[in-house]
Amino acid sequence: MNTTHKDSPRAKSLWHQTVSLPHYPALKGDLHTDVLVIGGGLAGLLCALELQRAGVDVTLVEAGRLCGGVTGNTTAKITFQHGLFAHHQLRLLGEEGARRYLDLQRAALERWRSLCAGVDCDFEEKDNYVYSLNDPAKLEREVRALERLGVPADLTDTPELPFSTLGAVRVSHQAQFHPLKFVSALLGAAQNFPNPPFPIYERTRVLAWAPGRAVTENGTIFAKNIVIATHFPFINNHGSYFLKLYQSRSYVLALENAPSVDGMYIDEAKGGFSLRNSGNLLLFGGGSVRPGKPVGGWRALRQAAGLLPQPEDGKPLGRMVSGLFPQAEEVAHWAAQDCMTLDGRPYIGPYSKNTPNLYVATGFNKWGMTGAMAAAMVLRDLILEREDPWAVSVSPSRSVLHPQLLFNAVESTLGLLRPTAPRCPHMGCALRWNGEEGTWDCPCHGSRFDRHGTVLDGPANGDKEF
């Protein structure tokens, strides 16, 4: 057993260990462009790429380094099977609306196939499985919903998994890949020619927005259209995203000498495990929790895998016994933090009704690969004033009347009223110390800071002095 990797707020993913992206300069002075994309993860990069290929003058800025957030810490499953989503969306949208949303996600998968064709990014077609430990009726209901929406799906056993389930819903012809290899190829770095198809500025934090302009630390960018693709939107006085979103943090181990599962697996219940292979490694994930809450983190995953002794209650992560991979060795560990919406669909479109020519892409609900591509396609069409049949299903201005809204509001209120310090600079909630990761975490909206106050995750838009 090997657990030599030191836990830290900047634990390095398998993707970052194997690919180094080129560096780009910081902006110095003012700049004019047709479209400004703020955010250098896959959502921002793909949006800029789609616009550039349509002949638009586009510029991208990133506060830190490209792909330093969720893109570099994903498990990189490209699938439209977002858990047991079909029954849920049929109930919310009806058949026509659910089919429209599914068509968008399917189109995103096909766009990935097209872009990855001939690119060295470990793109592999795989079956996707959503399994259940305790409720086979949910699986049967989901298969019926998928068939109603025109998706071939079947119920299957899961003999490849090292633990017992009550079955899984399988959807074939999904995919997985190496996200940073893809980005490297997109930027030309794979050919040692790091000239991107559009201007990129790193270490360029946008501090303020006004119609037609974005103010950075070292200059103002003037643009007719601006896209906020910063993971969690940072403009608070429009759109109410601080109530419409919350963040969920989950953990991943890359294990060698672990079995091949020959597919992509996810538990239908919160707190379960995610599994898929990358080469000869098993990516074993789980432990989803809101930042600022008590967590099991990597320790609980290591106990489940058998890299650490079993906990006293015998149930790491509260799901199953430990010791799943007794011969495994850990070669990498990392964590991802995802924005979750009220209804399971992302917010893609106009930032709010009162912010002309300002757009947003956020809330991918742990399915950022198809979510980012869907955002790029929808925002391209909106900015170019093309008719888009999908935009209504992901509009940020849709109804917020969902139970999750009340829960988000309660969490924010408790954080604001908690009489402790330090406070988050985003909206003043009390931060909590996360001893396992060595970070200060905000339980209200998910901002995170290292022990010195350097911001690690937004929506906080700058460092904090402790």
- Report the DSSP pairing between strands 439-441 and 448-450: antiparallel
> Cα separation of 269 and 279, whole Å?
27
| Residue 16, helix vs strand vs coil | helix
Q: How buried is 210 (Cβ within 10 angstroms: 0-12 exposed, 13-18 middle, 19+ buried)?
A: exposed
> Cα separation of 66 and 51, whole Å?
18
Half-sphere exposure (Cβ direction) of 207: Cα atoms closer than 13 Å: 8
> Cα separation of 452 and 466, whole Å?
7
Structure tokens at 220: 């103002």
Pick the CATH number of 403-457 from 2.102.10.10, 3.40.50.300, 2.60.40.2310, 1.10.287.3510: 2.102.10.10
- Return phi, psi of residue 347, to 5°: -100, 110
Half-sphere exposure (Cβ direction) of 385: Cα atoms closer than 13 Å: 2
| Complete DSSP assignment for 54-122 | TT--EEEE-SSSTT-SSGGG---EE-S--SSHHHHHHHHHHHHHHHHHHHHHHHHHHHHHHHHTT--S-
Return the closest-CA partner of residue 269 out of 139, 156, 171: 139
Q: In whole angstroms, what separates CA 291 from the centre of its chain?
A: 15
Residues 225, 400, 106, 130, Cα dihedral to 10° = 140
> Cα separation of 323 and 328, whole Å?
10
> Cα separation of 347 and 225, whole Å?
17
Q: What residue ranges do the domains of the chain occupy?
A: 14-76+181-244+343-394, 403-457
CATH fold label, 14-76+181-244+343-394: FAD/NAD(P)-binding domain (3.50.50)
- Return phi, psi of residue 7, to 5°: -65, 140
> Cα separation of 402 and 13, whole Å?
35
Query: Which residues lie below 8 Å from residue 159, measured CB to CB, with a gap of 6+?
Result: none
Tell me whether domains 14-76+181-244+343-394 and 403-457 share a fold: no
Are the beta carbons of 51 and 219 closer than 8 angstroms?
no
Return the closest-CA partner of residue 101 out of 401, 391, 373, 350: 391
Q: Please name the amino acid found at residue 95.
A: E
Query: Which residues lie below 8 Å from residue 228, measured CB to CB, with a gap of 6+?
Result: 38, 39, 234, 235, 351, 358, 359, 360, 361, 362
The enclosing H or E element of 241 equals: helix 241-244
pLDDT tens for the chain, 466 residues: list them.
444 445 554 579 999 999 999 999 999 999 999 999 999 999 999 999 999 999 999 999 999 999 999 999 999 999 999 999 999 999 999 999 999 999 999 999 999 999 999 899 999 999 999 999 999 999 999 999 999 999 999 999 999 999 999 999 999 999 999 999 999 999 986 555 557 889 999 999 999 999 999 999 999 999 999 999 999 999 999 999 999 999 999 999 999 999 999 999 999 998 899 999 999 999 999 988 889 887 778 988 999 999 988 766 656 555 555 689 999 999 999 999 999 999 999 999 999 999 999 999 999 999 999 999 999 999 999 999 999 999 999 999 998 889 898 888 888 888 888 888 899 999 999 999 998 889 999 999 999 999 999 999 999 999 988 7
Return the closest-CA partner of residue 306 out of 328, 335, 284: 328
